[in-house]
Structure 1
Amino acid sequence: MTRSRTPQFSFSSGEISPLLFSRPDYQRNQSGLRSCNGYIPLRQGGATRGPGTKFLGYTHANAKARLINFEFAENDALTLEFTNLRMRVWRYGELVMDGASPFELVTPYPEAVLGDLWWVQSADVIYLADGVRPIQKLSRFALDNWTITDAQYDAGPFRVQNLDEAKTLQCSAASGSITLTGTGNIFDASWVGVLIQLKPVDFTALPLWSGNTAIAVGDLMRFDDNIYELTAGTNTGVNPPIHNEGDQLVDSEKGTRWLHISDTSGIVRITAVANANSATADVIKSIPQPCITSATYRWSEGAWSDRHGYPRTVEIFDQSFFAAFNTAEPRGIWASTLGDFNDFEPSIDADGAFAYTISGSDTQNSGTWLRRARRGIYIGALGEVIRGFSNASGQRIGPTTFDTSVEGTDGSRPVRPITPYGYPVFVTKDGARLEEIRYSFEEDGGKPVELSLPSQHLGATGFEEIVWQSSPQRLAWIRRGSGDLVVMLYDPDEQVLGWARCSLAGGFVESLSISSSADSKTDILTMIVRRTIDGQTVRMIEEQSVIYGIIAGFQPIAEANHFFAASEFTALPATDTFSVPHLAGETVHAWTDKGEYGPYLVPASGEVVLDAEVSRASIGLLDETHEFELLDIPAPARDGSTIGRKKRLHAGSGIILRKTAAGRVSTVERNFAQPDTVNQSEELVPLQVAADLVNGYDGVMRLEANSGYADEVSLLFKPTGGAPMTVMAVIPNVEEANA
């Protein structure tokens, strides 16, 4: 028999896939866990108890809701709560009030489309898209003063120009409310509200400008795609007019003045349809004279309308507004003019607007999202992920420089990606995997990296939403189809990648949002959690507490919160009575400055009376499923692998703890085709009789527990009530049996 002490100094890989349990040669196995629920792997190597949540309130009418973050500056962060046709505003854990009532804004979004909302923020404005209605412009003027209106796009974008010469339009005037007369039965009622761009076909009645030519006031000429009217003089002069607006003196000697009338395209918006060949329209951009004197087939219908659908996703990149993917153009992308988010009129100028349809090789999968990132704007589609970039060095993306390359072929779901390190992290089309498009110098392009591979089983119920928390740990919080959370610890510079499950005491998570704390030091996760409380379904707004014990400096242990839907109290003088009416009918626990109390059944009044008077308390729901377990502990032998031999744990194993107030550890035995055996637990911190549990301990705890001989042995860690607990390393005292 050989006894050994092979330490595990890191748990940073978290819960790994069962397919890796037999891979001791694999890096993630060496720092991984068999299971991890309610504990978070740390970049430094340990595993700490996950934070609980604080109860803030209920959604409007307890209805299904969507949370959207709004951050104008580090000290000006809000969370917007969208419910059926309503929006409310949360600021640092409290509802923004309008007098004695919460501020509410009526919105056009019914409950059914809340999950389809996409948004992008520009200063005090958020643009929202859902693919069903026009892009909305949500504007903040004060905390309790918001408006939401259709974003007005009067300059495009437009569909491909009509090429059927039998379908023509002719305008009755250059401005104002005009009549459009058509041929070819163009119109029906669905055209109301549609933009149309018109360009002339026949320029025979409109001569090109020529120098030193006799002319009369009121005559029209065109130069460089602009149309001008002579307002003074009798000669065209030496220099042509080049201005784009107003009346200007071009030749002082001859007194030649030109008034800019229009360029060679006009834009109207239809206000009424009389019949298939007649409609009324408001002129938005002056109509060129040839479109008034003769009909033209060169007209283009607006790209976004009730007829063809509206964009499903929006983004801002390189000082342009991008919108993409509607019913008629499921792979279409539209970009605005540089610096003008409302101008989509097609252009060939470097700073102009443009439209682009992504080509497909074998399929024409619909696009799913847009996301700006370090090397361009990334485009998610059901069959691939594409990077949009400028093919001209030193130039922005524009009409003549926009190019694309396929960076991944696993496709993507319409789940908003994150870009924690400048590259998009997204959910693949099967909903079960998380990938990052990372730049590869060897390939001189993007390369998909499957971040979920080491813990692939965690995606079985589907990844539904993902948000990034950069402080105090670098964590991605992911909502699963099963209603719980998984957390991904990710730091590529340190080669750290770890996963864990986080159940919430029976709560079903429906929405997530991240915003900065009031002091700007941490990122706060806010979520909507559906719970059954005393037999009734409610939807609670819950704010995740800060992870205890990992921030440098002193932090009172009573500030730790590992309960859910909890209320936090500070009482001076101390008291034993606290009110938690939102948990009436439920069993709760309390963590206080005098330690752990509970369980208590909350009466209908909501008042909980503790067993002692305390000055600080967190009272909430305890999740008793939280635990983490090591992988099979190896027992090295001189003759090689001991797999297939029995082994056992002896007393004298070491466990390194940090800021741990309490917890339990059990030995676990596994034998082939037999039920697992979990032995009696041992306290991580010896409890003194009648002593308050008020201290967190650092150091090495000696485990006195033994196991029997088994094919596999491991250690199972569980929390005690609301007590903080962090395990930094385990040094097992293990012995293998001779063959």
Structure 2
Amino acid sequence: MARVKTIKTNFTAGEISPHLLGRGDLTAYQNGAAKLRNVRIFPTGGVTRRSGLRFVSAAPGPGRLVSFEFNTEQVYLLVFTDFQVSVFSGDAKIADLATPWSEGQLAHLTWTQSADTLLLVHPDVPPKRLTRKAALDWTLSDWKFHEKDGRIFQPFYRFADEEITIQPSATTGQVTLTASQDIFEIGHVGTRFRLSDKEVEINSVGGPRTAVATVQETLIGTGAQKDWEEAAFSPVRGYPVCCCFHQDRLVIGGSRDLTNRLWLSKSADLFNFDLGEAEDDEAIEFAILSDQVNAIRAVFSGRHLQVFTSGAEWMVTGDPLTPSAIQLKRQTRVGSPVDRSILPRDVDGATLFVSRSGKELREFLFTDVEQAYQSNDLAVLSGEMLRDPVDQDFHKSERIMYLVNGDGSLALVTVFRPEKVTAWSLTTTDGAFLSIAVVGEDVYTLIDRHGRHSIERFDAELLTDCAYSGTVAEGDDGRRIWNALPWLENWEVDIIADGVVRGRQAVSNGAVTLSDPAFRIESGLPYSHHIEPLPPFLQGASGISQGTAFRLVRATFRMLDTAALSVDTGSGLRSLSFEYFGESRFDQPIRRVTGDRTVRALGWRHGDPKPLWRIEQADPLPCTLLSVLTEISTNG
């Protein structure tokens, strides 16, 4: 009989898929875990109970959260819901505006920002610009393309067959346009057409072959003309799918009816798409043509202009980008989701995007050796963490990518590329996460709590969800009844008063009542965190032993600033906070302890691939685990 000591020094591989239970040879197995729930993984290797969620505001329903950064001091949260956007500064709502996007359309809403303006696009709605004029003055307006001498410099395209002609009744004023085949629709009213490069604007449509228009530039004649085109964006043809800024140009990626086309504005003239004579500073337009469908889903400005389509990823090069120097090269064949828009995010020079399957988080990264991009899957070892994501954002200082899953859970990925750290964990709450946005240093979420929608913010000072915290005024003698919780009416909440855990009680009439007065309080929904290692991969005198009988003798947990530790080593959970921390959680202020705590265990196991121990804790108390030393007895 032999005894083996093993030490787990970090969790930098995160939660590992059960499909890898037989791969104890992997470094990821040694640094991974079987379950990491409601914890945050530090790039240095430790894990801690996640922050609680502070209630910010009720929301009228499902929607999307967008970050708006005016400068380093002024950042805002935009909450898009059904035909409405609310603007928050900090946790306070400062403006409400009507919008043209329904709740059902928000999944395909995309955006990009320049200074005080946010450009928003949707394939079925005219593109808009949200402008901050002052802290409390926000406006939503249509895009206005550059106009000169009656000509609008917007993208145009010939949608109809080349043999179809249009004949104007005159060259100036109000004219009747007659087409040789059916082309006109009611939605063309207000749309610009170009006949031999001269513009007219449709006033009314008399039928599929006739329309009345106002001439904006004198036409060349009244004969039937094959040389004509119409505005690329209109109610008939749809609107842009996505946009970004790159090399001082506005880039538009695809539209509803031109899914594989790219438009780049004139240099330093963002709303001027005049192709001109193809001079270096003039606009650029081209289509992505290949052996597969390439509906553009996102455009991203990185080391190069990156184009993410439904079937592949592309690189657009040119230094600088000019009509004569531009090159388009396909890099990888992964594809992006088509049922909604999930914006790619930059992480240390790599662009992270969700694959079309919804099962992969890909890292689109340029390699100097190959002079090309690769798309490595960051979820290959933790596939169960990714469940058809619907939203994502990256917190730079915490080095965490947040992904909202379709099932309402929230996947967290600690990404630290210099140390090759990719650590997954899963966060849940009493309800479903719908959207996420990193605003400055704060992380906001939109949550559906069983029909009650709320905007909440992760707060390191809190230990509960949908939480309220308050203090009495200076000079007050304390308070027993604490109001301001109407959003949790009839729900049971955990209560921490003056640093003491007071147990749970139901919210009644928007308040909780304490047995004795308190000066400060936190109350909110409870949640549990779980930490389980992978089963031990034992090696006896004759080599690796699979199916060998073994037992855990003792485990020593190294904790940091921890107030409670509940551990199960095979005979049920036992709370080390009573036995080792030396005080009751429920009648004394929270005391954080740093150091080692040891627990002994009994019971042999025979080839059972289960963890030696697990940590599970619902009490609203801080817990940070740095490493675990285990001593195992084996008969192998």
Query: Normalising by the residue count of structure 1, what TM-score does the alignment of the two structures yield?
Result: 0.79
Cα distance in 1 between the residues matched to 2:421 and 2:539: 26
- Could you say which structure has the larger radius of gyration? 1
Quick one: which of 281, 284, 289 aligns to 1:351?
281
Q: Which stretch of the first structure deviates more once superposed, 708-717 or 122-131? A: 708-717
Deviations 1:559-598 (A, max 9, x none): 3x12110011123444343222221211111234433221
Aligned residues: CA RMSD:
2.2
Query: Counterpart of 2:382 in 1: which secondary structure?
Result: helix
Match of 2:496 among 570, 586, 591: 591
TM-superposed CA distance for 1:441, in Å, is 2.6
Partner of 2:581 in structure 1?
A: 686
CA distance in 1, matches of 2:536, 2:424: 20
Residue type of the partner of 2:248? Answer: Q
Alpha-carbon displacement from aligned partner over 1:658-693 (angstroms, at most 9, x marks no partner): 01011211114xxxxxxxxx5342415524258614
Match of 1:581 among 486, 489, 492: 486
Confirm or deny: 8 A CA contact 2:171 2:222 kept in the other structure. Answer: no
**Aligned AA for 2:194?**
Q
Match of 2:534 in 1: 631
Q: 1:383 aligns to what? A: 311
Distance of 1:706 and 1:136 partners within structure 2 = 66
Distance in 2, matches of 1:85 and 1:666, equals 50
1:266 aligns to what?
Answer: 198
Matches of 1:628 and 1:300 in 2, distance apart?
A: 62
Q: Give 1:280's aligned residue.
A: 213
Q: Is the 8 A contact 1:378 1:387 kept in 2?
A: yes
Q: What is the correspondence of 1:214-253 to structure 2 with a 5 Å cutoff?
A: none
The answer (yes or no) to whether the contact 2:501–2:587 under 8 Å persists in 1 is no
Task: Assess if the C-alpha contact under 8 Å between 1:162 and 1:299 holds in 2.
Answer: no
Aligned residue for 1:723, secondary structure, equals: coil
Cα displacement (A) at 1:321: 1.0
Match of 1:72 among 35, 47, 70: 70
Partner of 2:622: 724
Q: Could you tell me how far apart the structure 1 residues matched to 2:190 and 2:72 are?
A: 40
Q: Is the 8 A contact 1:320 1:339 kept in 2?
A: yes
Measured in 2, the distance between the counterparts of 1:545 and 1:368 equals: 33
Partner of 1:179: 175
User: Is 1:430 paired with 2:370?
Assistant: no
Distance 1:542 1:33 in 2: 29
Kept after mapping to 2: 8 A contact 1:593/1:694: no
Do residues 529 (structure 1) and 447 (structure 2) align? Answer: yes
In structure 2, C-alpha distance between the alignment counterparts of 1:706 and 1:728, rounded to whole Å:
24
- 1:402 maps to 326
How far apart in 1 are the matches of 2:226 and 2:65? 47
Which of 608, 617, 621 aligns to 2:512? It is 608
Does the 8 A contact of 1:198 with 1:266 survive in 2? yes
Separation (CA, whole Å) in 2 of partners of 1:592 and 1:405: 61
- CA offsets 1:258-294 (integer angstroms, 9 cap, x no match): xxxxxxx4333222345634522251xx447xx1476
- Counterpart residue type for residue 127 of structure 1: L
Query: 1:400 Cα shift?
Result: 2.0
CA contact (8 A) 2:399 2:415 kept: yes
Is 1:663 the counterpart of 2:561? The answer is no
- Deviations 1:101-128 (Å, cap 9, x if unpaired)? xx32111112221111111111111111
Aligned equivalents of 1:293 and 1:405: distance in 2? 44
Change (3 A) 1:646 1:163: closer
For 2:249, the equivalent position in structure 1 comes to 320
1:299-345 alpha-carbon deviations (Å, 9 max, x no partner): 22111112211111111111111112223211111111111121112
Does the Cα contact within 8 Å between 1:168 and 1:296 map onto a contact in 2? Answer: yes
1:142 Cα deviation (Å)? 2.2
- Normalised by the length of structure 2, the TM-score is 0.92
Question: What residue is the counterpart of 1:151 in the other structure?
Answer: 143
Give the corresponding residue for 2:406.
Answer: 481
> Alpha-carbon deviation of 1:433?
0.9
Which digits, 9 at most, give the CA deviation of each residue in 1:444-486, with x for residues without a partner?
A: 2001100011101222x31221110112x10001111110101
Match of 2:148 in 1: none
Identity among equivalent positions (%) equals: 22
2:104 partner SS:
helix
Q: What does residue 149 of structure 2 align with?
A: none
- Cα distance change on mapping 1:612 and 1:654 into 2, 3 Å: farther
Matched-pair contact (CA < 8 Å) for 2:547–2:606: no
**Shift in alpha-carbon separation, 1:35–1:268, aligned structure 2, 3 A:** same
Task: Answer whether contact 1:661 1:693 (CA < 8 A) is retained.
Answer: no
Residue 424 of structure 2 corresponds to residue 499 of structure 1 = yes
Tell me, in whole angstroms, the C-alpha distance in 1 between the residues paired with 2:393 and 2:271.
Answer: 29
Aligned-residue offset at 1:415: 1.7
Aligned-partner SS, 2:7: coil
Q: Once the 2 structures are TM-superposed, how far is the Cα of residue 611 of structure 1 from its aligned partner?
A: 4.3
Q: 1:269 to 1:497 in 2, by over 3 A?
A: same
List runs of 5+ in structure 2 lacking aligned partners.
146-151
Instruction: Structure 1 unaligned segments of length 5 or more: list them.
Output: 97-102, 200-264, 517-522, 547-558, 669-677
1:433-472 correspondence runs (5 A): 433-459=360-386, 461-471=387-397
CA deviations 1:182-217 (Å, max 9, x no partner) are 452554534322222343xxxxxxxxxxxxxxxxxx
Distance 1:412 1:280, change over 3 A: same
Distance 1:680 1:356, change over 3 A: same
Q: Give 1:425 deviation, angstroms.
A: 0.8
What amino acid sits opposite 1:715 in the alignment?
W
C-alpha separation between the residues in 2 aligned to 1:481 and 1:529? Answer: 12
Cα contact 2:549–2:604 (8 A) shared by 1: no
Which residue of the partner structure matches residue 95 of structure 1? 93
Counterpart secondary structure, 1:338: coil
Instruction: Indicate whether 1:194 and 2:191 are aligned.
Output: yes
Amino acid paired to 1:34: A
Offset of residue 38 of structure 1? 0.5
Distance, in Å, in 1 between the alignment partners of 2:243 and 2:617 is: 44
Q: How many residues align?
A: 615
Tell me, in whole angstroms, the C-alpha distance in 2 between the residues paired with 1:328 and 1:76.
38
User: What is the rounded CA distance, in whole Å, between the counterparts of 1:9 and 1:530 in structure 2?
Assistant: 37
Matched-pair contact (CA < 8 Å) for 1:156–1:195: no
Letter in 1 for 2:368: F
Question: C-alpha offsets along residues 526-569 of structure 1, whole Å, 9 cap, x if unaligned?
Answer: 1111113xxxx2101111113xxxxxxxxxxxx3x121100111
Counterpart Cα distance in 2 of 1:181 and 1:646: 88
Distance 1:278 1:660, change over 3 A: closer
Inter-partner Cα distance in structure 1 for 2:164 and 2:333? 43
Tell me the alpha carbon deviations over residues 678-712 of structure 1, each in whole angstroms, 9 at most, x when there is no partner.
53424155242586142211111122344444434
Compute the displacement of 1:428 (Å): 0.7
Paired with 2:553 and 2:321, the residues of 1 have a C-alpha distance of 66
Letter matched to residue 542 of structure 1? E
Counterpart of 1:22 in structure 2 is 22
Q: How has the CA–CA distance of structure 1 residues 165 and 3 changed in structure 2, closer, same or farther, with 3 Å as cutoff?
A: closer
1:563 is aligned to 2:467: no
Cα 1:597–1:708 change in 2 (3 A) is farther
Whether the 8 Å CA contact 1:3–1:734 is kept in 2: the answer is: yes
Deviation of 1:618 after TM superposition, in Å, equals 1.8
